[in-house]
Amino acid sequence: MVLESINAAASRGVLIKILGYNEPKILYPRIAFHAGDDPAQHEVAGIKCESSVKHNCIHCLYNSTECGQYNPIVHTLRDLSVVQQIKDGEKSFQKYLNGERYAAEELQSLKNLQEKGYHPIFNPFFNAPFGENNHIYNSPTDVMHLFACGLIKSVLQWTLIIICEIRSHSVQKEFPYATNTGLFDKRLMEFIYVPNFPHIKWCKFKDGLIYIAQSKSILEKSYATGSGGGFRSSEYIPALIQNFFAVSNFIYF
């Protein structure tokens, strides 16, 4: 219903009173982009956002499962050329849900959509008035969650992994860092509670955090990434602050 109103206004224009002009002017509104919180932004764009999805970025076809360097030639931007395939895929998926027969080509097309992260559902935003050379897939991603929180999570995980691994590092047949993990967790568990911290929901880590690194495989440690990383999003900032003091020489108790 909202898009119908916007489409109607975009096609016929609307009269707007503009300061400095005596007569109203006709404006043709356009949607610049869709901004939202994840995973809602993925749902609006019609892109799957699970960690197991090979291409889960709403903007391009970066391979999230490989964690490699972004290549603009290989990881091309999404565009509306896929709309017809999504329309056909929606019909094929309806056949599947109804128990009807469908061709092998239809199944292959559905698998191709799935691999690229598309839901086989026609998106009303395909027909939204985004303007010249603009569309729903051209929207910027959720920078706060996908970038800022990603950096914080990676710093936290690498800190835990380094502390966990360095305990086996020997110096002249001795292991001076063998107790690092226990000392680190002890400092976290004894960290003071900070009341009324502005804009932050403070939390304590009564069980420490080293268990997160100890439970990871060698491959997971090499990435130091992953969905959540063992932290809740509300714990990122408190964990980062407490980790900073736990690994420093600053005496806080």
Residue 176: per-residue pLDDT: 67
Please enumerate in sequence order all residues whose Cβ is within 8 A of that of 102, keeping only pairs 6 or more positions apart, or say none. 92, 95, 96
Residue 226: per-residue pLDDT: 47
Q: How many CA atoms lie within 13 A of 237 on its CB side?
A: 11
Q: Which amino acid is at 62?
A: Y
Run of H or E including 26 = strand 25-27
- State the sign of the Cα–Cα–Cα–Cα dihedral 140, 144, 148, 152: negative
Residue 152: per-residue pLDDT: 81
CA distance 78 to 66: 19
Query: If the chain, 253 residues long, is cut into consecutive pieces of 10 residues, what is the mean pLDDT of each piece?
Result: 82 89 89 82 88 87 85 92 95 91 91 93 91 88 71 83 81 72 87 80 86 72 53 80 82 50
Maximal CA-CA distance, the chain: 87
CA distance 3 to 244: 48
Phi, psi (5° rounding) for residue 20? 100, -10
